[in-house]
Structure formats: C-alpha cells, structure tokens
Chain A
C-alpha cells in the first residue's frame, strides 16, 4: 500500500472522474464505484499513486470512472498487467477490477498464479453470474439450470467456487461483499487494500438487464455468522458449505507477500560484458 501523503483529507468525490458511467441504471457496479471511492477516501490514498487495472467487461470499465491512473487492458489479462506494474513499481497501490467472465474464464490461469505469487495488490471481481457486455451468455459462476441463448436449458455445469480456488492457490485475504451494501463493501475493500499480499474480494453485483432475478439478492444476503479465520482449510470448508451469500471477510492469511528484487544494485552495464571478454 502506498504511503499516505499529508494533504487535506480526500473525500470520496475526489476519486471520481468526470466521466459518466454507461452502466445500465440499476447495475450493481454503480454501488461498487461508490465503494471504491469511499474505501480510497478512508485510506487517504493519493490518486496519482493509485492505479486501477482492468480487463474487458462491464465491470472492467471502472478505471476511467476514477480519478486515479487506470489501465483498461485486454480480456482476461488484468492480473498480468497489474503484476508487471506492481513488481516494477512497488510504491504504487494497485487495485485490479474484473468480472466473472474476465476473471474466471479467460483470466482463470492468471487468477491461480496471482494468488500463488501473493504480490501485494487487491483483486475485486464484480460477479453477476453472466456475460453482460456480450448480451447474456453463461459465465463460470452461472447456475447450471440458467437458460441462455448459447446454452438453452442451462449449461448443466457446476459453477466455480472462486473463493475456495483463491484459498487453495494461496491468496492472503479472501472476502465476499455485496454491491447493495456500499459502505460495508467499502470497509471490506479498505481492509483488503491494507492487508499485505494478494487480497481477493468477490463482490456480488447484480446485472439488472440480463439477470433481473438478481434483484432478489438483497433479500438473500446476510453477514457471515462467524469472524474471519486465519486457517485456509477452515475457511475453505466454511465457504463450501455456506449458501453463497455470506458477506464479510472470510479469511485473513499471514503469508509473507512476494518481495520483488528490483533496484538492489546499480552496476554499470559496461561491467556485464566481462562475461564474454577474452
């Protein structure tokens, strides 16, 4: 996490850009944007030392809606962009935004390795259990019986457990949030950013256009019945046996974050040719 500069305290509004989001009215991502700005304000982050990196999808539009530096990359590769950035610029605060398609389908491999590497960054996946931007195809977290044009009658496939996968792959902080509780989500995000190593927050964020059934979510959410554990096995078991709507920080690990080795010495490049000199 970047050091906090002493400036006049930043309000959430300071972290919003002038660009008006094109998300459908009713989209959960509006709340998530609020949560981002509130979390950044809570932490007193310096906007020019904060970078929001994303892939492709509705949720990935978020960088341009903040007043921080941003990178809207190609589909599924936000974690790779963020890794290169953070390893070479450990002074920056790096927040990665993705969706269930971008993050768990095409981005699945990078997800595993990012958790494993435990580089200090925060990964926020806005999960709406559908591919919104391309008009409603199933995603890896879509329920097996959800009817879509590309999979009539449902895919018949079990959805992913991204939180459990994150634990197994080595993430250092795992939480579930709900967009409909922006203050609660903001607190979780702030803690995630503060926590060293790779922090993963899955934000359930309804898609009102392609998943109108998700309007029900606000009635299904509830706080996790027990406080976060530091035991990944315990956390995994709890998540695998919950109803999918436990909100809160579920795991706080103590793995040492990845230590990049940039900038240790500054030998003159001319010295390097001694390897070859006869």
Chain B
C-alpha cells in the first residue's frame, strides 16, 4: 500500500456534542507530532445546540485547502447532517463510524458506498463519570491515525484547563475509552510518518495572523463593530493591542468605527478596523473622506457570501467590486487580497506600510475561509514593512498640507506640531486645504492622489507568480492555495501551468501583468463569485490573451483543487 501523505477526517455532531472541540484538539495534537494540517468548521445557523462538523486535513507538508474526500467520518450523531452533504464527501475507501443509537445513516453516507462500522460512542461515554461523546470520537480518531495518547492527553490538559480538573480527567478517560473502542478497526491507509520539521511552526487562524500583521505594521488604534466572520480579529486585538501601547475600541456601529479610525489617524496613530461585506458597505462614504483628505487607514473585509446579509458563516469572493469601485466620485485607493492564512500576516502588514506611505486608505480583502480556518503553518518570515508616513516638520512660512510635488505624497502635519495647523476636509481643496471649486485645483488634487499611487514602487509583492507553461491559472485570495494544489497535481501528469494571483488589486499593475503573461496563450480564471467579478475586473484593466475560460461560482462551497484540475485537463490541447 502506498504511503499516504494526506488524510482527512470529519467529525459530525449536534446539540453541544463538541465536534468542533474534538477537531481542534486533534489538529493541535497532530501538529505536535509533526503533521501540518488545516481545520475548518461548518455549522447550522443556531448559536448553540446546532449541528456542527469539524473538517480536518492532515498532511506532511503545509496545505492551504481541504481535500476532495474524507478518509474517516465519525458521526457522534446524524441530526441534520445532510445539511453538510455537499461539503463532506466520502467514497468507497472511506471509513464511516456510526453510533447504532443514531438510527439511519444520512444520505451523504448511504449514497457513497463507504465502509460503515458501528461503535456505541454515546454508551461508552456514559460509562465515564462526566464523560462526553466527543472525547470518545477523538479517541477513535487518535487510534486510527496512529497518534499517541500522551500527545492528546497533553493537549486536552492545556486546552481544557479552564474547565477544571474534573473535565480534564473525564476527557482523558473518554479519550482512552475511544482508543480502546478502535481496537480492530483499520483505516485502510498507511500514513507516512510526518517529517521532522526544522522550521518553527504556528497553529493559527487567518484572522489571528491578520491581527498580528496589523500590529507588526504599526497599527496601534482599532475601532470596530462586531460582525461574522471578522470578530475573531477584534477578539485577538483586544488584549494584544494594549500590550504594545495601543487600544481596541468597540464602536456603536460601522459608521462610527470607520470615522473613529480616521480621527485617530489624523491624530498621528496608525489605525484600522475589520468587518465583512455589510459593514464595508456602511463604511464606503468615510473611505471616500479618507481618500480625499489623504488620511491613511486600513480596513480589513473578511468576505462572506452575499449579497445583503447573505450567508454569514460561508466564504465568497464577491466584495471585489465594492472594494475597488464602490466609492463615489473618482477616489483611487489601495486594495489588496490576502492569499492564505500565512499570507494574511504579510498582506495586512504590507497594507499598513502602503497606507501610511501613501496617505491613503487600504482595503484588505480576506475571506471567511482563511479567516476562520485554523492551520499548522511554517512560521512566516519576518518582513521589514512598517508603516511610516512622511511627517511634516516645523518650518517657516505657510504650511501646505496638500502641496503638489513629484511623487504625489505631501508631508502630513500632526496635531501638536506648531505651524502645521490645517483643516482636513472632504470638500475639494487647494494645496492649503482650503475648500475650492476651481477646475485647476480639483484637477491638480485628483492628479496628485492618482499619481502618488501609480508612481510607488510596489516591488514583486504585487502578485504571486509561479511556474511556466502555455496556460496560466489566474485567481486571487484564498483560491490561490487551491489553484496551486491543482497545478501541482497536473504537473504530476506532465502538464506545466503557471499561477498568477495578484495580491495588489488596486492600483492596477498593467505592465507587470503583461510581463507575467509572457509566453502564456490561454488563461483560466478561477474565482468564487456568481457574476464573475474578478473576470470582469481583469478584462477592464488588463490585456488578456484571446483564449479565456472562467471557472466561477458563488459560495457556500469552496472550489476544490480537483475542480480546477478538471477544468485544466479539459482544456488540454
């Protein structure tokens, strides 16, 4: 039997069964054993007691998306489990463990022809004082994956510490019982031992790396209104900003949040907020103010399925339009897209640097998938990008806040600086900041704000460009990982494909994109939106080859590497 470098496990349960906790503990323990991996969750709409599934992928190298199929599916119960039908695929080689007391198997199992084994999970849990079925399920998984009980025991002790010793003991007992119940069961896979890892690794979510990237970039003030799936950014920043001399401030709504960060930035403190689509929509007016008054701010949009309230717990890539084009008037500003959990750190930190250097708002598009997924990643390299704005120095004579100059960036006075007094304004203004309706001033300031963005040297970070071939997959955001995996798969079949994924979505880098297309005859655009926003964006701003195909669909289901692979293979010629 060939060694498998990947294994995928799903744990399903409802009504407080604790499936998600089990998944988390499993991944963390596996990571301590040297595995890389990724965990996402899928849940019903209830706040408590709903159906939930932990979806885990373990691999011997870093992975950025889930696999197509689950090798092991443990059902603590199957209540409403068909909700997950499209996301949890099992096949004839998969092992499904079901509790006989759960009754009929759900369609997602019965249609698949998988191997089904019965283990009385709930009964076993009942034999333990304060025992919980999710720990029994965890024990089953532990044994089948060849993980050590000690490792799981350690992780349980660490993560359940706040629940008290009784809970820890009961959990460990449940774990042990689950391991025992797995005796005689066989996953049917020979798992490769994880390679010893020299690099330091992190166990972290995209929302957390976003927060860390912001702080590293220099953010010291955040104001925000909670919204799914961005709230974890705020939850991480709340205790961590004060440690570095900053503060997180909860606002009464998104209109307040965006204006608060503009006020703080005007006062000289790099500032940010985090939200999702509905919140970004509310912030649009103030983003225009920050653009016109040339005040740096960072707004992270963790995209979710839209439009309107949409599906708050599911990912999509359909806020590109509003991020790039949503401001009224001509208001060019920075837009970036984070490409993975690790990349959330880089892209957010870079965004702070760019916003401060260019005195402009930067919208960072992340999404629910990378925001809330937890992964084991190699520690990202330190990068030197720190936000630093051109500060005005005390000078003789009248201070021109919006002085026209070669690079377009005018030094910014901060309250406290004598002689630097000016009134920041959304009204069209002259070099002094005084409101005007003159066509020369209006044009001059529009030119200035465009020039400063266009003339900046962004370097190679503007996009991820990998590989060679005649076909390029062009994508962005969290689909970069799925595209990369698909390309690796077809490479194994002898086909070379290039990957092009812009990280800097605005300002447009036409020349560089053209250079990236050198030798490319056909492109496959891959995106998660109903109307093909990214495809239209590419057509609007870039020169594309004649042969373009588009693989686009809206959320809630992620686009899998196998789908991209299939699209590539169908287009071989």
Chain A interface residues (CB < 8 Å from chain B) = 19, 47-49, 51-53, 63-64, 67-74, 76-77, 80-89, 91-92, 109-110, 112-113, 260-267, 269, 271-273, 275-278
CA distance A85 to B268 in the complex (A): 9
User: Shortest Cβ distance from A19 into chain B, in angstroms?
Assistant: 6
Stretch of B126-134, B243-251, B302-310 on the interface side:
B243-251
Given contacts A276-B202, A277-B202, A278-B202, contact A71 B424 (CB under 8 A): yes
Stretch of B59-67, B253-261, B542-550 on the interface side:
B253-261
Given contacts A73-B426, A273-B212, contact A80 B415 (CB under 8 A): no
Interface string of B30-54 (1 = CB under 8 A from A): 0110000000000000000000000
By a CB distance below 8 angstroms, the chain A residues around B256 are 77, 80, 83, 109-110, 113
By a CB distance below 8 angstroms, the chain B residues around A87 are 221, 247, 249, 260, 264
Whether a CB of chain A sits under 8 angstroms from the CB of B118 is no
Closest to B246 in A: A262
- Are B416 and A53 interface neighbours, CB within 8 A? no
Q: Name the interface residues of B187-214: CB closer than 8 Å to any CB of A.
A: 200-204, 208-209, 212
Known A73-B424, A80-B251, A264-B242; 20 more pairs at CB < 8 Å:
A64-B425, A64-B433, A70-B422, A71-B423, A73-B262, A73-B426, A77-B259, A80-B255, A81-B260, A84-B263, A84-B264, A85-B263, A87-B247, A88-B267, A89-B269, A110-B255, A263-B245, A263-B246, A265-B245, A276-B209
By a CB distance below 8 angstroms, the chain A residues around B418 are 48
- Are B266 and A71 interface neighbours, CB within 8 A? yes
Closest to B292 in A: A74
- Are B415 and A84 interface neighbours, CB within 8 A? no
- Are A88 and B221 interface neighbours, CB within 8 A? yes
Chain B's interface size range is 35 or more
- Are B426 and A67 interface neighbours, CB within 8 A? no
By a CB distance below 8 angstroms, the chain A residues around B31 are 278
By a CB distance below 8 angstroms, the chain B residues around A264 are 242, 245
- Are B200 and A277 interface neighbours, CB within 8 A? yes
- Are B423 and A72 interface neighbours, CB within 8 A? yes
CA distance A64 to B425 in the complex (A): 9
- Are B421 and A48 interface neighbours, CB within 8 A? yes
- Are A77 and B255 interface neighbours, CB within 8 A? yes
Whether a CB of chain A sits under 8 angstroms from the CB of B390 is no
Chain B interface residues (CB < 8 Å from chain A) = 31-32, 200-204, 208-209, 212, 215-216, 220-221, 223, 236, 240, 242-247, 249, 251-253, 255-269, 271, 285-286, 288-289, 293, 376, 379, 413, 415-427, 433-435
By a CB distance below 8 angstroms, the chain B residues around A19 are 434
Given contacts A84-B261, A84-B264, A265-B242, contact A48 B420 (CB under 8 A): yes
User: Shortest Cβ distance from A273 into chain B, in angstroms?
Assistant: 6
Q: Which of B236, B247, B269, B415 has the most CB of A within 10 A?
A: B415
By a CB distance below 8 angstroms, the chain A residues around B200 are 277-278
User: Shortest Cβ distance from B397 into chain A, in angstroms?
Assistant: 14
Partner of B421, one of A69, A89, A113, A269: A69
Q: Is the interface of A mostly helix, strand, loop or mixed?
A: mixed
By a CB distance below 8 angstroms, the chain B residues around A89 are 264, 267-269, 415-416
- Are A70 and B259 interface neighbours, CB within 8 A? no
- Are A74 and B259 interface neighbours, CB within 8 A? yes
Given contacts A87-B264, A264-B242, A266-B245, contact A70 B220 (CB under 8 A): no
CA distance A264 to B266 in the complex (A): 21
User: Shortest Cβ distance from A224 into chain B, in angstroms?
Assistant: 31
Q: How many A-B residue pairs have CB under 8 A?
A: 184
Given contacts A67-B421, A70-B423, A267-B244, contact A84 B220 (CB under 8 A): no
By a CB distance below 8 angstroms, the chain A residues around B253 are 109
CA distance A69 to B414 in the complex (A): 9
Given contacts A81-B263, A84-B263, A87-B221, contact A266 B415 (CB under 8 A): no
User: Shortest Cβ distance from B272 into chain A, in angstroms?
Assistant: 11
By a CB distance below 8 angstroms, the chain B residues around A53 are 263
Given contacts A69-B421, A74-B285, A87-B221, contact A81 B208 (CB under 8 A): no
- Are B266 and A81 interface neighbours, CB within 8 A? yes
By a CB distance below 8 angstroms, the chain A residues around B288 are 74
By a CB distance below 8 angstroms, the chain A residues around B413 are 69
- Cβ contacts A to B, 19 pairs, < 8 Å: A48-B417, A64-B434, A73-B289, A80-B257, A80-B258, A84-B249, A84-B259, A84-B267, A89-B268, A92-B415, A92-B416, A112-B252, A262-B220, A265-B244, A267-B243, A272-B212, A275-B208, A276-B209, A278-B203
Partner of B260, one of A84, A263, A266: A84
User: Shortest Cβ distance from A125 into chain B, in angstroms?
Assistant: 17
By a CB distance below 8 angstroms, the chain A residues around B204 are 275-276
- Are B262 and A81 interface neighbours, CB within 8 A? yes
- Are A49 and B415 interface neighbours, CB within 8 A? yes
User: Shortest Cβ distance from B379 into chain A, in angstroms?
Assistant: 8
CA distance A91 to B415 in the complex (A): 10
- Are B259 and A81 interface neighbours, CB within 8 A? yes
User: Shortest Cβ distance from B292 into chain A, in angstroms?
Assistant: 10
By a CB distance below 8 angstroms, the chain B residues around A271 are 243
CA distance A271 to B244 in the complex (A): 10
Closest to A64 in B: B423
- Are A51 and B244 interface neighbours, CB within 8 A? no
CA distance A77 to B263 in the complex (A): 10
By a CB distance below 8 angstroms, the chain A residues around B285 are 74
User: Shortest Cβ distance from B382 into chain A, in angstroms?
Assistant: 8
Closest 7 CB pairs of A and B: A70-B423, A84-B260, A84-B263, A80-B259, A81-B263, A85-B263, A84-B264
CA distance A265 to B265 in the complex (A): 20
By a CB distance below 8 angstroms, the chain A residues around B268 are 88-89
By a CB distance below 8 angstroms, the chain B residues around A110 are 252, 255-256
Closest to B288 in A: A74
Closest to B380 in A: A273
Partner of A68, one of B264, B271, B421, B425: B421
By a CB distance below 8 angstroms, the chain A residues around B216 are 269
Closest to A116 in B: B252
CA distance A140 to B433 in the complex (A): 32
User: Shortest Cβ distance from A38 into chain B, in angstroms?
Assistant: 19
- Are A48 and B263 interface neighbours, CB within 8 A? no
By a CB distance below 8 angstroms, the chain A residues around B202 are 273, 276-278
User: Shortest Cβ distance from B209 into chain A, in angstroms?
Assistant: 8
- Are A262 and B252 interface neighbours, CB within 8 A? no
Partner of A85, one of B242, B251, B264, B425: B264
CA distance A276 to B344 in the complex (A): 14
- Are A272 and B243 interface neighbours, CB within 8 A? yes
- Are A88 and B423 interface neighbours, CB within 8 A? no
CA distance A189 to B376 in the complex (A): 58
CA distance A92 to B421 in the complex (A): 13
User: Shortest Cβ distance from B218 into chain A, in angstroms?
Assistant: 9
